[in-house]
Structure 1
Amino acid sequence: MDRNQIKSEFITISNVKIFCEHVINGKPPMLFIHGFASSTYTFNRLFPLIEKHFSIIAIDLPGFGRSEKSTTFVYSFKNYAELIEQCIDYFKLTNVTIVGHSMGGQIALYTAKAVPEKINKLILLGCSGYLKRAKKFLIYASYLPFFNYIIYFYIHKKEVKDYLKNVFYNHSLINDEMISEFRKPLLEKKFYQSLTRLLRYREGDLLSHQLKAIYTPTLLIWGEEDNVVSVNIGKRLVYDLPNAKLITYKETGHLITEERPVEVFEDILSYTS
């Protein structure tokens, strides 16, 4: 996206300071939700294509990116969905198309379940699905005063580049800018507090019978070599969601917006036209 056109600001929603990027241009609104341990940067290559056809609103979820790492916000999918609804109201949007990547896709589904009248369509990219809640012993352990440090050391067992290799099929696309961007949250102490609270409060993903009640038109886009959320999850979702379509790309991993931005854009445009 042309950074001269996009407006970046902090807004307060649910008593949390939220980092937001937006271009409101009178075109149909499209709201972007990133996945776990990510930010609006997930859609960096997609935005320049999308803004010619849609108004764009993208936020860093509480606990991630440049948004507040709140120690009072309850990091549940239900609360994230309520925050997305409040974001829609904040910008006075109607008939919103939500684009969600990975965990952001699950939050999009929670939102569509809660306020279907506000959502026009869903675009789910490598969407998280059918994950259960964390095991009880981990939830109990999250209350230990040193648990944040356990998460810190667990995450730092690998380099950022190793994590990126796991989400890309084409490793040649990994560059220094990307490594720097994904390293930023790892440098913040409060980030690990947020992860602890997410582990503690995150419900399981929506169950089959709940998905079957979501009639919002949904486009599922998947990389066939996704090592994080298998394409088999997409095949289950397209079966459970009553009004869904699945598209898959060969030789593509989990970070599909980086590997196939043009194809993703073209399929989104085709689906929403």
Structure 2
Amino acid sequence: MAAVAVHSAALGEGRPTLPYAEAGRPGSTPLLLVHGYLDSWWTFEPLLRRMPPGLHAYAPTQRGHGDAGKPPDGYLPEDFADDLVAFMDGVGIERAVLVGGSSGGVQARIVAGRRPDRVAGLVLLGVPATLADKPRAAEFWEAVRELRDPVDPALAAALSEGLTETPMGRGFLQTVVDEMLKAPAHVWRETLRGLLETDLRATLSGILVPTLLVWGERDPILTREEQQTILDAIPDSRLVVYEGVGHLAYWETPDRVLRDLATFVTDRT
């Protein structure tokens, strides 16, 4: 198993300090792992502890989440995207393959579209084209629009369930819930508001870097047609379908995800 080191990065004046996990051997094109809504770097722990020597990954916890700084505002997808570029500057990454998990792929693709000079490739692991048409997202918004601290642990537990076809260990899922609960109510509310009110389809335009989509065919949230929407919008893109896998392939089949990432990185360098 790979050693996972946790550090912190100060992003500069007006931006929060972000903790980040690092694994793998420096020297190759780095991977920048971008987590989704309410997650932290921990969501990538199954990948990080299996990281092969040929890959070098950074997984920052984004503002408001986990143990990162929690400013009162700045939770639009573009705010998270700006933080990613500032993070790269702060830790000395010139170019990286951006790997977005779930809604983390939104800010990853914003960076890919706006700053292709900093992006060697883009990988979208179970990423939506939009959330505006998702009944599950609308229902969850009703639960968080008036949310106040402290957040009910049962709400976090409900959000983490049913995302994989193969059941995850209780200890792992409890840590995921514990990490979610580190985000205060205003982060739950404003981050989801940003995802719902931003035109996410517009963030697909202008992406010219090579792009790999990974989608589990048992995904309870995203459809195959939605992945086709992303393929149609990004010229140099291809889709890999994981049969029998749910929404979070990087939890359920981390070894396969790492093999596909290694092949993608090798093809880019």
Aligned match of 1:166? 162
| Structure 2 stretches lacking a partner, 5+ long | none
2:230 to 237, 251, 255: 237
What CA distance in whole angstroms lies between the structure 1 residues aligned with 2:37 and 2:161? 16
**119-128 vs 7-16, which deviates more?**
7-16
Residue in 2 that maps onto 1:101: 101
Say how many residue pairs are matched. 256
Q: How does 1:106-255 map to 2 (within 5 A)?
A: 106-132=106-132, 147-149=146-148, 152=151, 156=154, 160=157, 162-171=158-167, 174-188=168-182, 191-202=184-195, 203-207=197-201, 211-255=204-248
> 1:186/1:96 Cα in 2 relative to 1: closer, same or farther (>3 Å)?
closer
TM-score by length of structure 2 reads 0.85
Deviations 1:167-221 (A, max 9, x none): 01012xx212212211213544x5212112223444424325x524211100000
Whether contact under 8 Å (1:212, 1:242) holds in the other structure is: no
User: How far apart are the structure 2 equivalents of 1:150 and 1:65?
Assistant: 15
**CA distance in structure 2 between the aligned counterparts of 1:185 and 1:258, rounded to whole angstroms:** 15
Whole-Å Cα distance in 2 between the matches of residues 119 and 211 of structure 1?
A: 15
Separation in 1 of the partners of 2:181 and 2:80? 24
Identity %: 22
The secondary structure found in structure 1 opposite 2:187 is helix
2:5 to 4, 7, 31: 7
| Alpha-carbon distance between aligned partners in 2 of 1:185 and 1:45, rounded to the nearest angstrom | 15
**Equivalent AA in structure 2 for residue 149 of structure 1:** R
Q: State the AA in 1 paired with 2:40.
A: S
The equivalences for 1:15-30 within 5 A come to: 15-23=15-23, 25-30=26-31
Partners of 2:242 and 2:176 lie apart in 1 by 24
Structure 1: stretches of 5+ with no match in the other structure? none
1:263 corresponds to which letter in structure 2?
R
SS in 1 for 2:147: helix
Please tell me the residue identity of whatever aligns with 1:79: D
* Aligned-CA RMSD value: 2.7
Separation in 2, partners of 1:152, 1:74 = 20
CA distance in 2, matches of 1:166, 1:234: 20
Tell me how far apart the structure 1 counterparts of residues 21 and 126 of structure 2 sit (CA, whole Å). 22
Distance 1:235 1:150 in 2: 39
2: CA distance between counterparts of 1:26 and 1:223?
Answer: 31
> Any conservation in 1 of the 2:217–2:224 contact (CA below 8 Å)?
yes
2:99 and 2:180 map into 1 onto residues whose CA distance is 25
TM-score (norm 1): 0.83
Is 1:74–1:201's contact at 8 Å kept on the other side of the alignment?
no
Q: Secondary structure at the match of 1:207?
A: helix
Is the 8 Å Cα contact of residues 130 and 204 (structure 1) preserved in structure 2?
no
> Against the structure 1 CA distance between its residues 148 and 12, is the aligned structure 2 distance closer, same or farther, given a 3 Å change threshold?
farther
In 2: Cα distance, 1:77 partner to 1:2 partner = 31
Distance 1:132 1:51, change over 3 A: same
Number of the residue aligned with 2:66 = 65
Structure 1 runs of 4+ aligned residues shifted over 6 Å read none
Partner of 1:30, secondary structure, is: strand
1:42 aligned partner? 43
